[in-house]
Amino acid sequence: MTLPDGGLPFALPVSDPVACAPFWVQADPSESSLQITAAVATQAYRAARWDEAVRDHPWLATATRYCFEAIREIDEAPFA
């Protein structure tokens, strides 16, 4: 589900919004999320310590590049 910029969306489209929090339903699946991409990449790095396939997978480098670029572009204090 990686987007062209290397990031992951905060959420995928929700087909049935009943009982879903608005932030899931209203998330734009075409926009990368630094929060989600960094969280998934962090877990991949943890797994990569023992799994060469994860360590050497091109997605990890792409996601890492996205995260550092997104961090460099932050020009004001984030919400949280």
- Given this model, what pLDDT does residue 79 score? 75
Quote the pLDDT of residue 1.
Answer: 83
Cα torsion for 70, 71, 76, 80, to the nearest 10°? 100
pLDDT over threshold 80, residue 31: yes
CB 32 within 8 A of CB 6: yes
Query: Which SS3 state, helix, strand or coil, does residue 68 take?
Result: helix
Q: Give residue 78's pLDDT band: very low, low, confident or very high (50, 70, 90).
A: confident
Residue 29 neighbours by CB under 8 Å, 6+ apart:
9, 11, 12, 13
The average confidence (pLDDT) of the chain is: 94
Q: What is the mean pLDDT of residues 54-80?
A: 93
pLDDT of residue 77: 87
